[in-house]
Structure 1
Amino acid sequence: MLLLQGVGQDEKVIAGFIGVAYAIVSIVYFTIFVQNVISSMQSINLIRKIYEETKDVIKKEITGRKNTPAIKYTKQEKEIKVISNKNGYFSAIDYKYLKKLLRRKADLFIIDSKIGDYLNKKTQIAHIIVKEGHDITDIMNDIKEAFIVMDNKLYFNDYRHGLTKLVEIALRAISPAVNDPNTSIHAIRKISVLLSYLARSEHIHTVKVSEDNFEILYIENNLSEDLYFTFHQIVHYAKEDVSVMRALLEGLWLIEQNAVGKNREFVIEYAKEIYTKSLPSHNNKMDVAYLEDIYKKFCK
């Protein structure tokens, strides 16, 4: 109405057009706002779902580790390598089948590849300590068949698959197209809680089968490997975002508080690496102080 003041009855005006344009712009921005809110809620719900599923896998993993005494394996001179004959993701192992094949012919079967690893036809997946006087050449192909290789990863026995999904959400949230650091921070916090469970055990050698002087040994990822695997992409893409880097350091502090033995050293070393990498990207004194405030906890 203000635009119509002082305008004659027969004069043409564009007030109506301006009003309509303003209304359309308002509707567009409101729609974008609503879509962002819905997208954020969907992300939070997805994070919760992945977190719960991954937590269950990790708890089973930790139970298996705790039920196995600490083992120090030393390399033997007479070891037979097992090379994969398939391409794809290492998804599971048929332990019963391996036991049936090897319990009278071998002392120890050590699985070198990790669940979730991508294998090719030249990957060493295991090695065997054969009993003296026995030969396993004729059953080598049968041994390889005990390794289940698939085109896709599986959730139910691979906690790293869940961690990868959470990392993907965190990375997408900090991308320029989305620009939602709060969702990224939420994902990082959930990842940190999951890793804190793994930090409570130092055991990485798990005995899967033990019978008639024959054992099958699976070598787990240690915490240092899990930390790098999980966080290195986030550090690379978010090192200039002080709030995300602060969340990473806070997450590592949570993990350190739950860690035992050498795992604490792994966490402190990785926190130092993250802090050192991100510091050159922050020239603002308040940003630096914001990071130092949490990092100094690792230096006590």
Structure 2
Amino acid sequence: MIAPLHYPLQITKAFRQSIAYLPSLLALGYFLVGLLAVVPREGFISMPGWLEFVRFNDTDTLRTLLSTLIAGMISLVVFSFSMVMSVLSQAGGQFSHKLVFGLVTERHHQWVLGNYLGTILFILMLLMVPENGGSPGTWRSLAAYLGVAMVIHCLALFVYFIHKTSQTVQVNSVVAGLHLATSRSLAKLKHRQQSPRFARVPASTPASMSASHSLHEIRSRQTGFIQNANFAKLAELAARIDGVIYLNFSPGDFTLDDFPLLYVDASTEPDPDWADEARGHMLYGEGESIQDIHVHGLTQLMEMAVKALSPGINDPGTARLCINQLTDLLRRRLNFTPCNAMLDHEDRLRVTWPAESFESLIYRVFSPILHYGHDDITIGLSLLKALKSLSLYAEGAERALLQAYAERVIGALAEAADHRLDRDFINARLNSGEHRLELPDQLGFRE
């Protein structure tokens, strides 16, 4: 039952995450209101006599009003979204292009679009369904006034739309949004792993296992990003055949069709139905989802910093802002170690998967920034400050890793500081602030 339901559930999830989800619901609500306005005939609903003053004298006046309203709404929609696409295309040149689609699909943009489309649909229904009689009835006249109120509401939404769009593409807003989304992803991961069924085991790969293991390979049948997997269901499948599942990917990896997706350590080879059910518990998605994978949020902040350091942008201030946010996120990551295994109710190992190490994260986010900003002393000092701050929360191998990166940053600073004043400036800040690294007191002078 799970395999046939997997694809409809995937389609439903993709629709809920698309830009069409909220506008479709709002347009449906307006459509139902439109039906309520055009279906009842005069006399079907008795209206109080004191409302006679709202009736239009003739049909032409009503249709002229409605035609003017719908023409104005269409112009408003065209102008609004021409403006937002122009602003977002400019933002795509300044920030990472991955952020542009996320800005378009924000909920407040969808809300405005849904009200625009719903108002047009409502007025269009009033125009298409004729009214019996020589003059519009009270009910149809009230519906026309409701259309006027909807247009006025859309004008207010237009002002709100301009305000939110201008805020959306501000650097501080974009960086803060990425930081908040990644923080929530980290908190969700930490909370989920509080379950006693999650555990940390030594990393193992099928190639490193002994020949005594009875490994059975299961290959994928589609291409895409595997955002996550239902580890609890996979553990139940493994318990059913009294085996262990070794996932051959990290959540968020891009896998190909016919890729060795997982290996099963069991005495008997799983049947095709079992393999299909296991594949059905892999959650595919489009692009990089920060809500599911915190690593994507870190890499997008890094990409923003690298983009800001490019010669075409030349904005080291944005790069330093991204480094500050990355420092806080890496500090949150140091508070816990992600689990890489799930146990059954009898504490027996059932599922393992590769987990992103802290070393990999540091290399992924700091090395590109250092590479593209090695000539900028302020960027090097910002990275050094970040490493010193992280050393206050790191122990053992993680602190040794931070020490090695700090030495690499200091080496880059020494190469970039050609002038005595530059070296004096750096020397005054090498050991400043709280940290637990072993750093030199000065770079030395080069005549």
Q: Say if 2:341 and 2:349, in contact at 8 Å, map to a contact too.
A: no
Offset at 1:39? 9.0
Give the Å deviation of 1:96: 4.2
Task: Give yes or no for the alignment of 1:153 onto 2:283.
Answer: no
Amino acid at match of 1:281: A
TM-aligned CA deviation for residue 289 of structure 1: 4.4
Show the counterpart of 2:226. 90
Q: Which residue of 2 aligns with 1:224?
A: 359
Cα 1:219–1:210 change in 2 (3 A) is farther
Q: Which has the higher contact order (CA 8 A, sep 6+)?
A: 1
Cα deviations across residues 93-149 of structure 1 (Å, max 9, x unaligned)? 12344234321214322323112212123544433221x3x2214333432232222
Percent of residue pairs identical = 16
Q: 1:197 aligns with which of 320, 326, 332?
A: 332
- The verdict on how the C-alpha distance between 1:177 and 1:195 changes in structure 2, with shifts beyond 3 A counting, is same
Q: Which residue is 1:283 aligned to?
A: 418
Distance in 1 (alpha carbons) for counterparts of 2:169 and 2:413 = 29
Q: 1:70 to 1:161 in 2, by over 3 A?
A: closer
Structure 1 residues 158 and 70: CA distance shift in structure 2, 3 A:
closer
Matches within 5 A, 1:88-167: 88-121=224-257, 123-130=259-266, 132=267, 134-138=268-272, 139-167=274-302
Shift of the 145–66 alpha-carbon distance from structure 1 to 2, 3 Å rule, reads closer
The 8 Å contact of residues 200 and 260 in structure 1, kept in 2 or not, is answered as no
Rate the CA distance shift 1:102–1:41 in 2: closer, same or farther, 3 A. closer
Give 1:284's aligned amino acid: H
- Supply the distance in 2 between the matched residues of 1:225 and 1:269 (Cα, whole angstroms): 14
The corresponding residue for 1:248 is: 383
Range 221-230 or range 179-188, more displaced: 179-188
1:60 maps onto 2:60 in alignment: no
Cα separation, partners in 2 of 1:101 and 1:40, compared to 1, 3 Å = closer
Cα deviation for residue 234 of structure 1 reads 1.0
Q: Distance in 2 between matches of 1:103 and 1:168?
A: 42
In 1, the alpha carbon distance for the partners of 2:280 and 2:237 equals: 11
**SS at structure 2 position matched to 1:116:** coil
The match for 1:180 among 315, 324, 334 is 315
What is the identity, as a one-letter code, of the residue corresponding to 2:438? C
CA distance in 2, matches of 1:66, 1:274: 36
- Partner Cα distance (2:226, 2:259) in 1: 11
Contact 2:199–2:343 (CA under 8 A) maintained in structure 1: no
Amino acid aligned to 1:71: V
Between 234-243 and 254-263, the greater mean CA deviation after superposition: 254-263
Cα distance change of structure 1 residues 175 and 248 upon mapping to structure 2, 3 Å threshold: same
Instruction: Give a deviation string over 1:155-186, Cα, whole Å, max 9, x none.
Output: 21111111122122212222223322122101
Tell me: CA distance 1:178–1:72, structure 2 relative to 1, closer, same or farther (3 Å).
Answer: closer
**Distance change in 2, residues 1:216/1:283 (3 Å):** same
Structure 1 residue 251: Cα displacement? 0.8
Partner of 1:128, secondary structure, is strand
2:262 alignment partner, SS class: strand
Aligned residues: 261
CA contact (8 A) 2:375 2:416 kept: yes
**Counterpart-to-counterpart distance in 1, 2:323 and 2:293:** 19
What residue in structure 1 maps to residue 401 of structure 2? 266
In structure 1, the partner of 2:179 is: 51
Q: How high is the TM-score relative to the length of structure 2?
A: 0.52
| 1:113–1:287 distance in 2 versus 1, CA, 3 Å | farther
User: Partners in 1 of 2:241 and 2:427 — Cα distance?
Assistant: 58
Counterpart contact for 1:90–1:150, Cα < 8 Å: yes
Superimposed CA distance per residue, residues 40-72 of structure 1 (whole angstroms, 9 cap, x where no aligned partner): 981011111110111111122234456555423
Q: TM-score, normalised by structure 1?
A: 0.76
Task: Give the match's secondary structure for 1:114.
Answer: coil
Q: Is the 8 A contact 2:309 2:316 kept in 1?
A: yes
For the residue of structure 2 that corresponds to 1:299, the secondary structure is: coil
Q: Report the Cα distance in structure 1 between the residues aligned to 2:408 and 2:251, rounded to whole angstroms.
A: 27
Structure 1: gaps of 5 or more residues: 1-35
Superposed displacement of residue 284, structure 1: 2.1
CA-based RMSD of the aligned residues comes to 2.8
